[in-house]
Chain A
Amino acid sequence: EAGVAQSPRYKIIEKRQSVAFWCNPISGHATLYWYQQILGQGPKLLIQFQNNGVVDDSQLPKDRFSAERLKGVDSTLKIQPAKLEDSAVYLCASSLDRDYVLGELFFGEGSRLTVL
């Protein structure tokens, strides 16, 4: 079974530029998450989708970050304009069940962003 696919793996941009990350979850997984992991910290949830609807985006900086999940499958996370503090690994994860007592998050390899 194919895992969670993410691209690009690495991206270096100047501040105020824009960047987009793509994620394809495991087939059949209804729930998709984008987490931000800053070096030395644990992952922080940015946005959670259930199919193509948003369940939680309370910690998404909406003035610069946007995300969409077209047709309830793959997803794109965009940052525009980027700030230095956005340097982090952006992890996409998916799960089979919305009821997390039963579910498990499967993470992709992550997209490492460096903002100069």
Chain B
Amino acid sequence: QKEVEQNSGPLSVPEGAIASLNCTYSDRGSQSFFWYRQYSGKSPELIMFIYSNGDKEDGRFTAQLNKASQYVSLLIRDSQPSDSATYLCAVSPSSNTGKLIFGQGTTLQVKP
């Protein structure tokens, strides 16, 4: 079992739709969870972090965390073609040394 799992996609949605990206993790003691966006040929950039159960909203982005189910998701409302990228789920493991464990990423395509 991978430590952080994501569906590699591609996930294709029409412009203006809601994109839903999912992630599961294996370390039940993990405390912090992150979503990074990576455009092709570029480095990852942080878009959201969450460490409490429930929802956290930031503009068009909503992160959802369910620690009991070991599940993290990212919703992107009113998807735009500029949102087309790979979205990496990252988890800070229970050892809390500061490192992040990344999933393989989900490629999102937003079609005009």
Contact = CB atoms under 8 A, between A and B. Distances in A.
Interface residues of B, number: 25
Contacts of A110: 43
A99 B105 contact: no
Contact of A97 (B43, B49, B98, B103): B98
A77 B93 CA distance: 24
A42 B105 contact: yes
Majority DSSP secondary structure for residues of A touching B: loop
* Residue of B4, B32, B42, B100 with most partner-chain A CB within 10 A: B100
Interface string A13-35: 00000000000000000010101
B32 A105 contact: no
A101 B97 contact: no
Closest 8 CB pairs of A and B: A42-B102, A107-B43, A100-B92, A100-B98, A98-B98, A42-B104, A43-B102, A45-B99
30 contacts: A31-B98, A33-B99, A35-B102, A40-B8, A40-B104, A41-B104, A42-B4, A42-B90, A42-B104, A42-B105, A43-B44, A43-B88, A45-B99, A45-B100, A48-B97, A48-B98, A50-B98, A55-B99, A56-B99, A91-B44, A95-B98, A97-B98, A98-B97, A98-B98, A100-B32, A100-B96, A100-B99, A100-B100, A101-B51, A109-B42
Interface of A: 31, 33, 35, 40-45, 48, 50, 55-56, 91, 95, 97-101, 103-105, 107-110
